[in-house]
Amino acid sequence: MTLPKTYMQMFSTLTPEGVLKMELVEQQMPTPKPNQVIVRVEASPINPSDLGVMFGMANTSEAISAGAGKDIALTAPVSAQGMRVMKARVGQALPVGNEGAGTVVAAGDGDVAQSLMGKVVAVMGGGMYGQYRCVDAAMCMPLLPGDTAKDGASSFVNPLTALSMLETMRMEGHTALVHTAAASNLGQMLNRICQADKVELVNIVRNKSQAQMLKDMGAKHVVDSSAENFLAELTDAIHATGATLAFDATGGGALASTILSAMEAAAARTPGAYSIYGSIKHKQVYLYGGLDTSATVLTRGYGMAWGIGGWLLPNFLARAGNEVASRLRTRVAKELKTTFASHYTDEISLSDALQGDTVSRYLEKKTGQKFLVCPQNKI
């Protein structure tokens, strides 16, 4: 196969003048080193983690899209405070797109690289919103025969995050989980994993329709945060499951504090558990997302055995080690079309991803809505 001399790739740049600019830039096709392959990128999802690199702290409500095709660009102003926070990236053109999948169309002369030639692979290497991507062969996960790039586009972020939540639970001595924004693609995966592994899971959703969807999938404990009796139902579910670990995708507001309060109230139902210092069982909430960008509000009232902190997939995998990471990736590959199946509401081209109306839609971050960038589609 003869490769083109150039290809288009998406970049996000913060200018010294306080403007964030996203554009498609023509790149020279590289020659792969012995341990590298060139992947023709065919599918790459837009995950919440991508949005931070794409837009940072730009005021997206004032974003302007101009041009068309390969010449399209989107700009948005950044406040003085945003410039202070993001000063380290001023002037840097950052490639975007954490993960994706496609076909290996060129390879270096190393054995591992050559073994991937012609195969459909999933990649988590950054810069995946581009028509081609040159990566180390070790960063590729070959898909099983019959699996497509669309099947494998979301093989890393959501599946490994869901599996790593259970690994964290086991490593830290917990036996059940609480998860927020539970009707999301990731939340649905976590439900399927917990059902298969017989782990009790408390799902927190935002409305009745989301609650019914999860129940139809077999979820046992689902609570609606918009209901008047939310705290009582959450406490009942936590008491029934014994959950003392939560992963919160919202990040802001009072939800993390509410979960800790419910855990403490559930613990207090155990005879002999009372102490003026609260229950002795440690309660932990990890913030791993930022769907709510407001401040995280804690209202103390859950004893002294609790913790709240950040949680990030790459950091966990680094601590867990290569053996654990390899085991998790193997499971993802085997269950790609079942446990870890992703569903997309919109398939868009690289230029579509910079159109103002499309940007507004994926920035809504609606639960159940997921966009797939298809770089081989006409720009």
Question: In the prediction, which pLDDT does 358 show?
Answer: 96
Backbone angles phi, psi at 119, to 5 degrees: -90, 155
Task: Give the pLDDT of residue 167.
Answer: 98
Locate all alpha helices (DSSP H) within 248-307, ordered by sequence: 255-267
pLDDT for position 84: 95
Q: Note the pTM of the prediction, 2 decimals.
A: 0.87
> What DSSP line would sit under 31-95, residue for residue?
PPPTTEEEEEEEEEE--HHHHHHHHTTB-GGG-EEE--GGG-EEEEEB-HHHHHHTGGGBT-EEE
259 and 234 Cβ atoms separated by less than 8 Å = yes
Indicate if the alpha-carbon torsion angle 58, 59, 62, 68 is positive or negative.
positive
Q: Tens-of-pLDDT digits for all 379 residues of the chain?
A: 789 999 999 999 999 999 999 999 999 999 999 999 999 999 999 998 899 999 999 999 999 999 999 999 999 999 999 999 999 999 999 999 999 999 999 999 999 999 999 999 999 989 999 999 999 999 999 999 999 999 999 999 999 999 999 999 999 999 999 999 999 989 999 999 999 999 999 999 999 999 999 999 999 999 999 999 999 999 999 999 999 999 999 999 999 999 999 999 999 888 775 577 888 889 999 999 888 889 999 999 999 999 999 999 999 999 999 899 999 999 998 999 999 999 999 999 999 999 999 999 999 988 788 999 999 999 9
Question: Which residue type sits at 305?
Answer: A
Q: What is the dihedral of CA 284, 285, 288, 293, to 10 degrees?
A: -150
Q: Are 84 and 140 in contact (CB under 8 A)?
A: no
Between CA 85 and CA 70 the distance in angstroms is 31
d(C-alpha 343, C-alpha 314), whole Å: 24
Residue 313: count of CB within 10 angstroms of its CB: 20
In this predicted structure, what is the pLDDT of residue 273? 58
For the chain, domains (ranges, CATH) are 6-154+343-373 (3.90.180.10), 157-317 (3.40.50.720)
Q: How far apart are CA 331 and CA 369, in angstroms?
A: 25
Q: Among 376, 316, 287, 377, which Cα is nearest to 48's?
A: 287
DSSP state of 227: S
pLDDT of 278: 86
Q: Which residues contact 35 (CB under 8 A, 6 or more apart)?
A: 108, 110, 112, 113, 136, 137, 138
